[in-house]
Amino acid sequence: MTGAQALVESLKLANVEHMFGYAGATICPAVDALANAPEIGYTLVRTEQNAGHMASGYYRVTGKVGVCMVTSGPGATNLITGIATAYMDSIPMVAITGQVPSHLLGRDIFQEVDITGAVAPFSKHSYLVKDANDIPRVVAEAFHIASTGRPGPVLIDLPIDIQEQELKEFHYPEQVNLRSYKPSVRGNDLQIKRVVAAIEAAQRPVICAGGGVFLSHAEQELLELAERTHIPVVTTMMGLSLLPTEHPLNMGMLGAHGNVYANKAVAKSDLLIMIGCRVADRAILSPAELAKRTAIVHIDVDPAEIGKNMKAAIPVVGEVKAVISQLLKRLEKRSGGEWLEKLQHFRRQELTRPLPSREGYIFPGTLLRALGDKLRYNAAVCVDVGQNQIWACKHLKLGGGRFLTSGGLGTMGYSLPAAVGVKVAQPERQTVVICGDGSFQMSMNELAAVSAAGMDIKIVLFQNNILGLVHQIQSTPAYPAGPFGVSLDGSPDFSVIADAYGIQNRTLSDEAELDEALDEMLSSEGSYLLICRVHPDATTND
Amino acid sequence: MKQTISVLVENQAGILNRITGLFSRRAFNIDSLAVGVTDDPAVSRITIIVDSGNSEMEQVEKQLNKLIEVIKVRTLEEDKLIGRELVLVKVNANAKTRSDIMTICELTGAKVADISPTSLTLELSDTPDRISTFEAMLRPYSIQELARTGMIALQKGSGKI
């Protein structure tokens, strides 16, 4: 058995069913072995970065580690943004890169790059394999490390000669035991008791839930915690869709781009229970100020997150699912009282407030509200980065669906490849992409992957012919020169692009047609591009 | 404030790169760093001297712990550690000055590692402070070259990390 065959055999034993990749010379032996493994599906991307985003989308709806495989040099460096995007959102991923022959490492030969060195700052771990006999162990460790504790991307760099090397014996370890890697699972009982006491004593408690709740598969536990204690819930961007938008305890997203009353709830709280979130700058601008006014409980699997951005009065290290279960064993029912009623009142007002409209243009908030009403209960909505993301965070109504976006790194172009990953895993699931004309042009080459697989992805494209969020920032007094370098002049006619890929499309500029256009898109067969003309002056503050 | 961190790591290629990368990425300052294998050849001990406050030290420890190959991390309290550093120093010496330099060696416990008609190479293992004093005493004789290892440290008493 060769190293390449051992790799594919190990991937099968790690229950890999699908991979995203791009072939090149130094990964050819592995690709050849993959060709003989019909159990593992394969999607050819159009640029390597998107293999990372597809693997991310795939994981986020299945809970199965996403796998991508690319060649050395430029293949590996193109994948870097995909790896960094996954790292910032704690997405488990195994990335396999080809490498030049091991005896030529360091000679700067054709398509050589030190990829393990390059990804060190934003990968959970990496391996440069120098003996094919190590491959089964390395693969098993990589999946274990990627998927346990705080998840993250792990890279395996495989020189071509190692892929060709004959193994002495193939042994895939059934269990991985690393003495230096033992993530905590359960929360400390003493700390759990302190949290329970704090909740019982609080007058104005708020739960702030983040992406860590999804990562720990603790959506049900969170819901039970909130419903039993009637504590209002705000989420970070990565926590959006943990609760249905209209759930009576859901106060929306906090942060600079969040819902007004989510921020007010946090600001006025006397107990903030942070669960699986790291409150970066976009979520809480001045953590030190907030910590002075309110008591903070911080529950996270990664001890380094506790106290990094925000000092916690009661830190609890453990897996979110286990910790909430521990809390539920001790917590009694309590009522939300006046605090909750007040917040609910304001929340309803915010969700139904009138939105602006301009003749000849679509206001994205209006479209997103209408779209939310029409989506199937479990729809997956992949949202890009820029104004489209903020509008979707504020206005898109979701039932039991998933909201997927690049929250940490803010990688433009994430939405379409993420949707491909979703669709590969769950072809029947309604999948919608929300993007702008800037972000769409960063990954619209993946329409080829969509067409090749005959996928059914509905794409809503907000076209305002500018990089809207930067335009918005440049229009503030901080930048006296005003908007510069943000015009998207030269963009193609997107309907012709869609036609070229054989994708149905429609251009929409009249809000009166909005309902009918959304119905047409959602009931169409196959993929669909809905191009919405948006006025360049429409902002996320509207 | 100078603090001493003792780190036990898997003795594998690339770990030093990960540790130094972590320090630069998170903007922690390293004063010195010394690495060597322990009694278990699969494990290395890295002693890092960092100049930072207590809250930052907590982050340093936690971030080090996140590295997969890191087995244990401990910040050693200053009054509970034995710390030693080795210095090699080549100083100008002739018939006139040699005996004066030898007196300094006797007083500090330094040894002569090498000798030539115009120089002495001395070695001393001691605390970083005393090594700095030794260096200052030799400076008037004109130091040609000097190398310090950075401090290595263990806990006092029978305890271990």
CATH classification at residue A265: 3.40.50.1220
**A174, part of any domain:** no
Interface test with A, best of B68, B69, B72, B73 (most A CBs within 10 A): B68
For A184, which residue in chain B has the nearest alpha carbon? B66
In this complex, which of B21, B58, B71 lies closest to A180 when CB atoms are compared? B71
Q: Mean pLDDT throughout A101-123?
A: 95
Are residue A342 and residue A414 in the same domain, yes or no? no
The answer to whether A523 contacts chain B (CB < 8 Å) is no
pLDDT(A341) > 90? yes
Helices (H), A311-357: 320-330, 337-352
* Per-residue CA distances from A146 to A152, A165, A216, A374, B64 (Å): 5, 26, 13, 36, 18
For A180, which residue in chain B has the nearest alpha carbon? B71
Buried b (16+ CB within 10 A) or exposed e, A505-516: bbbbbebeebee
In this complex, which of A125, A128, A307 lies closest to B58 when CB atoms are compared? A307
Q: Mean pLDDT throughout A291-317?
A: 90
Mean pLDDT, chain B, integer: 93
Which residues from chain A sit within 8 angstroms of residue B62, using beta carbons?
303-304, 308
Q: B15 vs chain A: nearest CA distance in angstroms?
A: 10
For B24, which residue in chain A has the nearest alpha carbon? A121
Which residues from chain B sit within 8 angstroms of residue A117, using beta carbons?
17
Supply A367's token pair: 């479209």
Structural domain B82-154, CATH architecture: 2-Layer Sandwich (3.30)
DSSP-derived secondary structure letter, A8: H
Q: A508 vs chain B: nearest CA distance in angstroms?
A: 47
The reported pLDDT for the residue numbered B58 is: 87
Separation CA A204–CA A297 (nearest Å): 14
Domain segments of chain B: what residues? 2-76, 82-154
The answer to whether A485 contacts chain B (CB < 8 Å) is no
DSSP assignment of B43-79? EEEEEEEEE--HHHHHHHHHHHHHSTTEEEEEEEPGG
pLDDT class of A118 with cuts at 50, 70, 90: very high
Over residues A483-508, the pLDDT tens digits come to: 999 999 999 999 999 999 999 999 99
Backbone angles phi, psi at A463, to 5 degrees: -110, 110
**Residue among B70, B61, B59 at smallest CA distance from B8:** B70
Over residues A175-184, the pLDDT tens digits come to: 999 999 999 8
Q: Mean pLDDT throughout A60-68?
A: 97
Are residue A452 and residue A414 in the same domain, yes or no? yes
Q: Mean pLDDT throughout A194-209?
A: 96
Find residues 117-156 of chain A whose CB sits inside 8 Å of chain B: 117, 120-121, 124-126, 128, 145
Residue with tokens 């209209």: A246
The reported pLDDT for the residue numbered A181 is: 93
Find residues 308-347 of chain A whose CB sits inside 8 Å of chain B: 308
Separation CA B104–CA A113 (nearest Å): 52
Are residue A345 and residue A379 in the same domain, yes or no? no
**A177, part of any domain:** no
Over residues B36-64, the pLDDT tens digits come to: 999 999 999 999 999 887 778 888 899 99
- The dihedral over CA atoms of B17, B20, B23, B28, expressed in degrees to the nearest 10, equals -170
Separation CA A486–CA A498 (nearest Å): 24
- Beta bridge partner(s), residue A466: A487
**Residue among A157, A140, A96, A147 at smallest CA distance from A124:** A147
**A182, part of any domain:** no
Are residue A9 and residue A143 in the same domain, yes or no? yes
Is there a contact between A82 and A54 (Cβ–Cβ < 8 Å)? no
State what percent of residues in chain B have pLDDT above 90: 75
Which residues from chain B sit within 8 angstroms of residue A181, using beta carbons?
68
Supply A99's token pair: 């490498």
Which residues from chain A sit within 8 angstroms of residue B70, using beta carbons?
180
- Beta bridge partner(s), residue B48: B5, B33
In this complex, which of B17, B55, B65 lies closest to A120 when CB atoms are compared? B17
pLDDT(A240) > 90? yes
Residue with tokens 């014996």: A169
Burial of A104 (0-12, 13-18, 19+ CB in 10 A): middle
> Which of A331, A349, A367 is the last residue in one of the domains?
A349
Over residues B128-151, the pLDDT tens digits come to: 999 999 999 999 999 999 999 999
**A173, part of any domain:** no
Which residues from chain B sit within 8 angstroms of residue A152, using beta carbons?
none
Separation CA A341–CA A339 (nearest Å): 6
**A180, part of any domain:** no
CB–CB contact B9 A304 (8 Å): no
**Residue among A244, A53, A304 at smallest CA distance from B73:** A304
Are residue A25 and residue A157 in the same domain, yes or no? yes
pTM of the predicted protein model: 0.94
Q: Mean pLDDT throughout A296-314?
A: 90
Residue with tokens 């903070």: A296
pLDDT(A35) > 90? yes
The reported pLDDT for the residue numbered A538 is: 95
For A127, which residue in chain B has the nearest alpha carbon? B14
Q: Mean pLDDT throughout A371-375?
A: 96
The answer to whether A298 contacts chain B (CB < 8 Å) is no
**Residue among A370, A299, A363, A383 at smallest CA distance from A509:** A363
Q: A439: domain CATH number?
A: 3.40.50.970
What letter represents residue B87's amino acid? V
Separation CA A385–CA A487 (nearest Å): 17
In this complex, which of A117, A178, A308 lies closest to B17 when CB atoms are compared? A117
Work out how many domains chain A is built from and give that number. 3
CB–CB contact B68 A120 (8 Å): no
The region of weakest confidence among A91-95, A260-264, A429-433 is A260-264
**Residue among A97, A95, A93 at smallest CA distance from A65:** A93
The answer to whether A106 contacts chain B (CB < 8 Å) is no
The answer to whether A178 contacts chain B (CB < 8 Å) is yes
The reported pLDDT for the residue numbered A287 is: 79
Question: What is the predicted ipTM?
Answer: 0.86
Domain that holds residue A268: 189-349
Is there a contact between A443 and A50 (Cβ–Cβ < 8 Å)? yes
In this complex, which of B10, B21, B70 lies closest to A120 when CB atoms are compared? B21
Domains B2-76 and B82-154 share a fold: yes
CB–CB contact A304 B21 (8 Å): no
pLDDT(B14) > 90? no
In this complex, which of A117, A180, A307 lies closest to B70 when CB atoms are compared? A180
The reported pLDDT for the residue numbered A278 is: 87
Are residue A328 and residue A468 in the same domain, yes or no? no
Which residues from chain A sit within 8 angstroms of residue B63, using beta carbons?
304
**Residue among A444, A443, A468 at smallest CA distance from A538:** A468
The chain B residues in contact with chain A (CB within 8 A) are 9-10, 13-14, 17-18, 21, 25, 55, 58-59, 62-63, 65-66, 68-71
- Those residues whose C-beta lies under 8 Å from the C-beta of residue A78, and which sit 6 or more positions away, are A47, A48, A49, A70
Separation CA A432–CA A530 (nearest Å): 11
Which residues from chain A sit within 8 angstroms of residue B21, using beta carbons?
120-121
Separation CA A413–CA A127 (nearest Å): 28
The reported pLDDT for the residue numbered A43 is: 98
The reported pLDDT for the residue numbered A309 is: 82
pLDDT class of A288 with cuts at 50, 70, 90: confident
The reported pLDDT for the residue numbered A542 is: 85
Separation CA A379–CA A434 (nearest Å): 13
Which residues from chain B sit within 8 angstroms of residue A288, using beta carbons?
none
pLDDT(A284) > 80? no
Interface test with B, best of A181, A278, A309 (most B CBs within 10 A): A181
pLDDT class of B27 with cuts at 50, 70, 90: confident
Q: B76 vs chain A: nearest CA distance in angstroms?
A: 20
The region of weakest confidence among A322-326, A457-461, A532-536, B60-64 is B60-64
CB–CB contact B68 A178 (8 Å): yes
> B2-76 sits in which CATH class?
alpha beta
Which residues from chain B sit within 8 angstroms of residue A124, using beta carbons?
68
Mean pLDDT, chain A, integer: 95
For B63, which residue in chain A has the nearest alpha carbon? A304
Over residues A325-337, the pLDDT tens digits come to: 999 999 999 988 8
Separation CA A229–CA A205 (nearest Å): 10
- Those residues whose C-beta lies under 8 Å from the C-beta of residue A175, and which sit 6 or more positions away, are none
Which residues from chain B sit within 8 angstroms of residue A304, using beta carbons?
59, 62-63, 65-66
Residue with tokens 């998170």: B26
Is there a contact between A440 and A416 (Cβ–Cβ < 8 Å)? yes
pLDDT(A72) > 90? yes
For chain B, give the longest Cα–Cα distance.
57
Supply B105's token pair: 């060696």
The answer to whether A300 contacts chain B (CB < 8 Å) is no
